[in-house]
Structure 1
Amino acid sequence: MTLDPACGSGTFLVKAIARIRQNFAQKPEAFPGAEKGLIEAILRNVVGFDINPLAVLASRTNFLIAIRDLIRHVGEIELPIYLADSVSTPSEYEDLFTSASPVARVPCAATKPPFLLVPREVGASAATVNEFTQLIEHALKVGLSADEFLTDLSQTSVSIRDRKHYVELYETMANLRDEGRDSIWARIIKNSFAPLFVGQFDIVVGNPPWVNWESLAPEYRKVSAAAWEHYALTGPLPGKRRQSSSASKTDVCILMTYVAADKYLSKGGRVGFVLPRTIFQSETGGWHFRRFVLPGGKKLAVELVEDIDALKPFRGQATNTSCVAVFKSGGTNKYPVEWRQWRPRQARQAQELTLERVKKASTIRKLLAEPISATELQSPWIVGTKATLSLLRDALGKSPYAAVVREGLNTRGANGVYFLQASLLAGRLMVTNLAREGRNERVQETTLPIEDSYIYPLLRGEDVSRFKASPKEYVLIPHSASSPTSPVVFADLPKLTREFLSEFKPILSNRKKFRNFDPAGNEWHGLYSVLTATFSPYKVVWREMAAGSGVIAAAVASHRLPLGAEKVVMPDHKLAIIPCDSEAEADYLAGFLNSNVTNLIVRSYAVATGISTHILDRVAVPRFSARNKLHKQLALLGKRARLGNLTVEEENELSFIAAELLGLSADEAGTVVKELAKM
């Protein structure tokens, strides 16, 4: 039996039907009744759910097309594609979670609020659901009163606990009928209960929605909250991690994976889902997911990960990283896990290819994956060959710089106000806010004169390349180096600076509170994550997003304003910062972070869109010492790279020094170079 709990247009279901038909062609004797047995097997063994009515319609249509030549062999059929919420239905209708509510909510776009309140006991069994929906559909059709409907219902197996709830539901549906809002609602109720009674499946497949918790509709967040708690997919994260909120829910596909394995999978069955690779390799986003333990202590084992990201299977895919993961119910994870990396032999041409054609057009590299920390099995997975994992295991460790690394400044959605272009006009500094940067249509472009007291060179991710940093724009930061976390009192700011900020006060004061940042009061003009490290005269930065390139780091110091003053460069939140005591220390760190061994470690466990402060928990960069010859040489090479370009010999020297500082031999450093070239 095969289930797709988020079936969309039915792609996986149609493939499952094709597989059953192929089996019939090869072994027709396995299907008693010939074609009649075939279509009965399909209707019994291929099931889909989706919460979107249009998706269900498309899926049913494609399902029907796939069996159109077989329909004549049977009488009336019911397509096993249901308009149902495969995640929240257990929460609403079963005793899986404790609920004091006597009613459960069935989505209904025609009512306000958009759901029907169905007495919970209706979902006691498939029989009670069928009896209830058939009877209410009949009662509405022939025009029975609510009392007459209840009299008939009392003769069924439905146990009526509170007549009031049945009367309210019946009257709501009668009003929909009288308003001409069609009469499908009884069937919608029946569909909604389907996930409870379809049974368990040998295979659960699909491409569950990749939707971040924060992007879910508020109503659905409320409905699914109990499920997140039940599956222990929420809660604080250990240690000093960026996403430390007790409500650190992430992608809804994580929840669907756990629900599918727990509720729909038979013992020994398998789940095969298309998932974002980040849930295996993100430092924070997949932490709870990587417990791989279901309620009651039942284990969920990862059997195989097919890393298909390089094939770019989705049109318009930008930052999403795709994989196909296969899980087995009741198994225990045995590390390392098989990880197969697919790469196209040439640029993708056709949009749709069969699996056989994809195999011929791709190379498949067999790798292994295991938690990067041997003591924290929920830590991100590191991926590589057996030899690479062994080599890197000896090089992993926490850097002393992990205690001081920080993120750059964050405007909390007001880039369009604080990010500026600057120029001179008749000896005056004129600034224009980059209104479109904040994606806030209420921000209007304004050009005003301003003092240079709180204007700084702005460094953004795109301004940083390997060893190089070139600020192109400017930023207004009304904070002081002596007390950076809070803004300067508004009345103490220079006159023109106050006038500029006042132009945007309604927008700035309406920004959302975040941790210790609250712009609703007197600090409405401030920024978030302005720290001592931000004002450091020497620092090294690296890009959080560095697709296909690993770590991209550069040493930075000061930059000239249009009026000629040298000011400290200010990195934004897409850059990580290590404050340094000297130029030499910054060059040393840039050299180490750009080295082959650092990049092999980082690219083996981190996704390219999440190379943030956590890398110093994994790469044991030693603290700089001006007395250490290797440190001094690495700093010299970093400076040469910043001011010009390194020769091939100097690049090799830089990487071999970094490898030696991590305790690797010259031979192992050579292996690092070879392995990195294969990535």
Structure 2
Amino acid sequence: MTSRVVGIDLNPLAALTARVNYFLNVSMFLDNDTNVTIPIYCGDAAYIPQVVEIEGVEFIEYSIDTELRPINIRFPAEGVSNVSNFIDIMAEIEMDIVLKDECSAFSHLVTFLDDSGVSVGKTVQDEISSLVDTLIEFEANNWNGIWSRVIANYVATAMLGQYDVVVGNPPWVDWKSLPSSYRDRVKSLDVASSIFSGDNYVGGINLNIAALICTTSAAKWLSSDGVLGMLMPDTFLKQRTYEGFRKLAISDAETASIVAIDDWSLAGKPFSPVSQKFLGYFISKSGGRTASSIPVIRYKTKERGLKTSIEKLDLEQSFSFDELVASRVSQDGNRTNYVICESGEMETFKKMGSGESQYVGREGMRFFPLELLVFKLVDYDSRRSLVEVENVQNPRSRHRVPKGRWKFERDSLRPLIRSADIRPYFVSWNGTLAPFPFDSNKSTRTAVDIKTMRSRWPKLFEYFVRHRDVFVSQSNFTSRLVAKNAPFYSIARSGDYSFAPRYVVFRATGKSMAAVVESIDTPWGKVLPAFQDHAPFIAQRPDGSFLGEDEADYICGILNCDIVRSYAAVSADARSMPITPRYALPLFGDPRVVDLQREIARASRNAKQDCSSADIVNLSNSEISELYLRMLDQLV
């Protein structure tokens, strides 16, 4: 049994608890004189020791961070091939380390290696001597005598072999929350290079450590005919940052496949207070079903307030079950997101997902920090052309900008559209404003220079100077988004599109909703809007020209229609919708389907004109769905 069931946990207490539980369950089979190693190891499933070759000798190589200094380990791989014997010899030299007897510790290890069939040449002796020196150094600094066992546990995980079943509930920790030294070490591993999506800025270089643990576990411990099962966030199937993970390239020559999914997203909160929705992922090296149809069981809780402390749960009494399917909707190797839906919907969703959007979405401007750059309208002084505003407050922000009232030049401000302002076919502006220190005659990407700012908008400039320290303290992330040598008050994500006559703005969180926006009515006239984070927009055709009226209505209708909203709900994370649609959005004016496109624009205008009538909006959305699918059929 101890050779067939093993466990690994990074937490020493969890490993100890599991070891005791394991022992209690096998103790009935043991005699008083039985020598047994309980195969529960304290190790890191994300950072497994590597096998390296030095001067013809294979070594297990590993590094452990400590408060004193890193422990760099190299131990002959052949000496770890019998894990139980390796654990025993590392425990045996503990007394040598406590006595600081370097010679005895060295002799014990060399004898062990010799008995294990290792040729103990100079290279091996040097590495063993370095290991003994490190252990004695730690002992001399009163770092107790257990380091030999700690090292043995970590190193042993590299030689455990492969298993038919690998299960786990790995930690769901964002990559950016890990210590930088640990991130650097893990990213150096061969398997890590395949799971990062490659985006240089937003999202692509981020990851959840669970994705790495899943990949390394499959690569190292899963047998060719085995199955790995892990509980991990549902976002792994959808978000762009997990494109690399979804390819499941566990080595240069080997890939794995998702063969089944348990969907727990509607099963309550078994890990309360954690509210992250999650799935059970079942992965095999021989599955071969990743690109086709994957069976999914969705669990729906029948009980309100299902207690998370219950150890034994009657599944049939507590949950109802839906049989669904999951599949990649595109065969493009660079677009690997999945949808989970009923089998009858999959053909339609694949038709949508296999196409591409001919329009690029733009992310809203980064008005950060909120307390500095977002205002509520208080009053308008028409005689002096000054707008009185009050800066908003966010009690959770680390940037402290006291609440106050200010008067700014009216043409230095734009109405700010937020995600919450967007409804199907209309926008409800609530008086929120933001500074817009740009002049399209000078630059659409960089704020006007200080000299222009002082002469044109002196009151806004005075406000900026007063809070210059807040601008300067912004993160490196923000500074990378603005042009080099830009004034300190530059705001990220402005361009030619910021001066378009009309926009199709949509939500990047929650339910899919879109509206056509032109100028906003303000107390001082019609003014072009600005858009906040999570309110992305489409303003241009692929050639950079601005959208026409019919074209904007056409795009807006598609983004709002029933079938697209259904697709968006199953293909993307509601907390972070794609900025550019990940489904077919053909260019307006295509002669093959232009008549259908005009019909979509007409139905969209009808919904816009009667947007307060739910019946008319629903009828329009239903009509647009039918027209949209007919358009895709004609473009095949």
Pairwise TM-score range, normalised by the shorter structure: 0.7 to 0.9
Change (3 A) 1:629 1:169: closer
Q: Which residue of 2 aligns with 1:612?
A: 578
- Is the Cα–Cα contact under 8 Å of residues 620 and 662 in structure 1 kept in the other structure? no
> Which residues in structure 2 correspond to 1:255-654 (within 5 Å)?
255-282=212-239, 284-312=240-268, 313-318=270-275, 320-333=276-289, 335-345=292-302, 347-353=304-310, 357-376=314-333, 378-395=335-352, 398=355, 402-411=358-367, 414-424=369-379, 429-434=387-392, 436=394, 439-441=397-399, 445=403, 447-472=405-430, 473-482=432-441, 483-493=443-453, 494-510=457-473, 511-513=475-477, 517-518=481-482, 521-546=485-510, 549=511, 551-561=512-522, 564-579=524-539, 581=547, 585-615=551-581, 617-620=583-586, 622=588, 630-642=599-611, 644-647=612-615, 651-654=618-621
Q: Which residue of 2 aligns with 1:182?
A: 144
- Is the Cα–Cα contact under 8 Å of residues 433 and 447 in structure 1 kept in the other structure? yes
Change (3 A) 1:103 1:317: closer
- Is the Cα–Cα contact under 8 Å of residues 432 and 447 in structure 1 kept in the other structure? yes
- Is the Cα–Cα contact under 8 Å of residues 591 and 635 in structure 1 kept in the other structure? yes
Separation in structure 2 between the aligned mates of residue 408 and residue 380 of structure 1, nearest angstrom: 24
Structure 1: runs of 5 or more not aligned: 1-40, 667-679
Deviation at 1:130, TM superposition (A): 3.9
- Is the Cα–Cα contact under 8 Å of residues 49 and 61 in structure 2 kept in the other structure? no
Amino acid at match of 1:615: P
Deviation at 1:105, TM superposition (A): 4.5
Deviation at 1:74, TM superposition (A): 7.6
Amino acid at match of 1:360: Q
Point out the more displaced range, 290-299 or 159-168.
Answer: 159-168
Amino acid at match of 2:502: Y
- Is the Cα–Cα contact under 8 Å of residues 228 and 249 in structure 1 kept in the other structure? no
Separation in structure 2 between the aligned mates of residue 628 and residue 259 of structure 1, nearest angstrom: 48
- Is the Cα–Cα contact under 8 Å of residues 416 and 440 in structure 1 kept in the other structure? no
Q: Which residue of 1 aligns with 2:179?
A: 217
- Is the Cα–Cα contact under 8 Å of residues 305 and 340 in structure 1 kept in the other structure? yes
Separation in structure 2 between the aligned mates of residue 177 and residue 449 of structure 1, nearest angstrom: 67
Q: Cα deviation per residue 1:632-676 (whole Å; 9 max; x = unaligned)?
A: 53133231344x2232x652243123322330799xxxxxxxxxx
Separation in structure 2 between the aligned mates of residue 460 and residue 399 of structure 1, nearest angstrom: 27
Deviation at 1:519, TM superposition (A): 7.3
Instruction: State the secondary structure of the residue aligned to 1:273.
Output: strand
Instruction: State the secondary structure of the residue aligned to 1:424.
Output: strand
* Aligned residue among 608, 615, 622 for 1:655: 622
Q: Cα deviation per residue 1:553-574 (whole Å; 9 max; x = unaligned)?
A: 223333355x634322211121
TM-score (norm 1): 0.78
- Is the Cα–Cα contact under 8 Å of residues 371 and 399 in structure 2 kept in the other structure? no
Amino acid at match of 1:636: R
- Is the Cα–Cα contact under 8 Å of residues 406 and 576 in structure 1 kept in the other structure? yes
Deviation at 1:441, TM superposition (A): 4.0
Point out the more displaced range, 150-159 or 650-659.
Answer: 150-159
- Is the Cα–Cα contact under 8 Å of residues 399 and 616 in structure 1 kept in the other structure? yes
Change (3 A) 1:359 1:502: farther
Q: Which residue of 2 aligns with 1:21?
A: none
Deviation at 1:344, TM superposition (A): 2.8
Amino acid at match of 1:436: N
Q: State the superposition RMSD in angstroms.
A: 3.9
Give aligned pairs, total.
605
Deviation at 1:453, TM superposition (A): 2.8
Q: Cα deviation per residue 1:267-299 (whole Å; 9 max; x = unaligned)?
A: 2111001122222223x2232223234325233
Deviation at 1:202, TM superposition (A): 1.5
Q: Which residue of 1 aligns with 2:123?
A: 161
Deviation at 1:47, TM superposition (A): 2.2
Separation in structure 2 between the aligned mates of residue 316 and residue 382 of structure 1, nearest angstrom: 27
Point out the more displaced range, 500-509 or 264-273.
Answer: 500-509
Separation in structure 1 between the aligned mates of residue 617 and residue 334 of structure 2, nearest angstrom: 38
Deviation at 1:461, TM superposition (A): 1.8
Separation in structure 1 between the aligned mates of residue 38 and residue 285 of structure 2, nearest angstrom: 28
Amino acid at match of 1:652: L
Structure 2: runs of 5 or more not aligned: 115-119, 540-545
The percent of aligned pairs where both chains have the same amino acid is: 17
